Amino acid sequence: MRWNLRLPAANKGIWKASELQRSLSEHGLVIPAGKMSGLWSGQPVSLKLEDLDVICVVLGCEIGDLLIPEPEKVRRPGQAEGTERAAVGAGTAARAVVPKRRGGRSLPPE
């Protein structure tokens, strides 16, 4: 998942972490400066579901506006570490590798 707080905040006219922090505290969610920095920078360490509710209310957004799925980053069974696979349904079909002779012609099937 990718954290996407700043775009919904900008859509609401909030351009600084301190502005959002103030709005959240008006709705009962007090976030320390260090945690707010993580939320704003895009690298939150942890977040309670109840906090997400308040953030969505303050920004007038849905949870899908804050959390962007990245299924291509999920390691699948049989996949070597460090290799990436295209997301299912991404519209790209895998092409078979066909060995060719140096002259450019395909080798006969075995």
Rounded CA-CA distance 31/37 in Å is: 10
Rounded CA-CA distance 67/3 in Å is: 5
pLDDT digits (tens, 9 = 90+) for 28-86: 999 999 999 999 998 788 899 999 999 999 999 999 999 999 899 888 888 777 665 54
Judged by phi (left if over 0) then psi (alpha if -120 to 50, else beta), residue 96 lies in beta
pLDDT at 45 (0 to 100): 81
Domains (range + CATH), the chain: 2-72 (1.10.260)
